[in-house]
Amino acid sequence: MGTRRTTLPGVGTQYDFTTEDGQHISVVVHKDGRRFIGFYDRDDPDACLLSVPLSPDEATALAHLIDTAPIDAVRTDGIDLVTEHIPVTSKSPYAGRPLADTRARTRTGASIVAVLRRTTATPSPGPDFRLSIGDTLVVVGTREGVDALAEIIAGG
């Protein structure tokens, strides 16, 4: 599978790929974070049959569902550690706030080891790092700690 990248001036970037089965699919990434997935006619590669718009939160959720390589648990001296990706959605009480406000490690024992934002990654973000809607937190901890942190970030 090869992916072709095309810059769309004033809009964003379009990524096209063809599956092993011959289905042409494209993803248009707008500068404001919106995504559109397009499905094309096999007989007419220029005919888009369906376009599905996704908000940044929806795109993140879909990406997690599609990912075929979930990160497995890591065994360390009898303690099962897991690594998870936790999205910061528009419902999170921490969107727009510094990472320190989560008090993640103190409250759950889980650590936020990186923050993924659109095309960048921030490893070991400091307490002043300000979270944004659409960010994905890379978290390491026990299953219980990571689940508790996911609930805190989600606003539960």
The tens place of each residue's pLDDT in the chain, 156 residues long, gives 567 888 889 988 898 988 888 889 999 988 887 899 999 998 887 899 999 998 877 777 777 777 766 555 555 666 677 888 999 999 999 999 999 999 999 999 999 999 999 878 899 999 999 999 999 999 999 889 999 999 999 987
Residue ranges of the alpha helices (H) in 1-156?
A: 56-66, 104-108, 143-154
Structure tokens at 39: 């499905």
CATH fold of the domain at 75-154: Alpha-Beta Plaits (3.30.70)
Cβ-proximal residues to 52 (8 Å cutoff; 6+ apart), any chain: 36, 37, 38
Taking the C-alpha atoms of residue 3 and residue 106, their distance in angstroms, rounded to an integer, is 43
